[in-house]
Chain A
Amino acid sequence: DAGVIQSPRHEVTEMGQEVTLRCKPISGHDYLFWYRQTMMRGLELLIYFNNNVPIDDSGMPEDRFSAKMPNASFSTLKIQPSEPRDSAVYFCASSLWLAGDTGELFFGEGSRLTVL
């Protein structure tokens, strides 16, 4: 089975440009998480969805960030306009939460974003 698929794997862009990161979760999973990883701040939860509905976006840094999940097989994280401090690795992860199950997260390989 295919795992969580993220694209692009690497993105280099200039300050002020719009960046869109994409994620395809594992089929059948009902939770989708977006994390950002930096040396300074570690792994930060940005937003997560349950059955395509945003549950908690309190980790989204500011209005420049937005995330959508139009259907169960696709999610996007958009940054507009991008700034150098947005440079990080962005991970998408999905999970299936069943009572009595671990519900562990399955991570994509990450999208490394560099904003010049």
Chain B
Amino acid sequence: AQKITQTQPGMFVQEKEAVTLDCTYDTSDPSYGLFWYKQPSSGEMIFLIYQGSYDQQNATEGRYSLNFQKARKSANLVISASQLGDSAMYFCAMRRGAAAGNKLTFGGGTRVLVKP
């Protein structure tokens, strides 16, 4: 069975510093995609970044980067220069490939609180 694990239930980070959120996954599929979503206190789910299993380079989107280590099955999110607005829940998710129905499941989330 596919599994997404986020081992950090919560963490504090100082404003302007970088923070790394851990995510490990378990799958036997050769093709899959990894996502990070942000959920602020208002409740909406906001897509941040995507990494495909065959992508050679780590994905980056502005202040977000994904540290993809395929052999270790990890896909950690790095937020650089944290801002107060980054305080939120962050979810890692994995989407199985087309051959496996494109099912997308989420990890348990990490709550980030940015301190001024």
- Which A positions have Cβ atoms within 8 angstroms of B? 31, 33, 35, 42-43, 45, 48, 50, 55-56, 89, 91, 93, 95, 97, 99, 102-107, 109-110
Give which listed residue, B33, B45, B91, B105, contacts A93 with CB less than 8 A.
Answer: B45
Q: A89-B43, A91-B45, A109-B43 are in contact. Are A50 and B101 (CB under 8 A)?
A: yes
- Complex CA–CA separation, A94 to B50 (angstroms): 16
Check B47–A104 contact: CB distance below 8 A: yes
B68 in contact (CB, < 8 A): no
Q: A55-B101, A105-B104 are in contact. Are A110 and B43 (CB under 8 A)?
A: yes
Give which listed residue, B43, B98, B106, contacts A42 with CB less than 8 A.
Answer: B106
Instruction: Collect the chain A residues with CB atoms within 8 Å of residue B33's CB.
Output: 102-103
- Complex CA–CA separation, A102 to B104 (angstroms): 12
- Which B positions have Cβ atoms within 8 angstroms of A? 33, 35, 37, 43-45, 47, 50, 52, 91, 93, 95, 98, 101-109
- Complex CA–CA separation, A42 to B106 (angstroms): 8
- The chain A residue sitting closest to B47, CB to CB, is A104
- Complex CA–CA separation, A50 to B35 (angstroms): 20
Q: A89-B43, A97-B98, A109-B43 are in contact. Are A104 and B50 (CB under 8 A)?
A: yes
Check B104–A45 contact: CB distance below 8 A: yes
Check A45–B47 contact: CB distance below 8 A: no
Instruction: Collect the chain A residues with CB atoms within 8 Å of residue B50's CB.
Output: 102, 104
Check A42–B109 contact: CB distance below 8 A: yes
- Complex CA–CA separation, A91 to B104 (angstroms): 14
- The chain A residue sitting closest to B105, CB to CB, is A45
Check B45–A103 contact: CB distance below 8 A: no
Instruction: Collect the chain B residues with CB atoms within 8 Å of residue A48's CB.
Output: 103-104
Shortest C-beta distance, A11 to chain B (Å), equals 15
- Complex CA–CA separation, A93 to B106 (angstroms): 13
Instruction: Collect the chain A residues with CB atoms within 8 Å of residue B102's CB.
Output: 31, 50, 97, 103
- Complex CA–CA separation, A110 to B39 (angstroms): 12
Check B101–A56 contact: CB distance below 8 A: yes
Check B95–A107 contact: CB distance below 8 A: no
Instruction: Collect the chain B residues with CB atoms within 8 Å of residue A102's CB.
Output: 33, 35, 50, 52
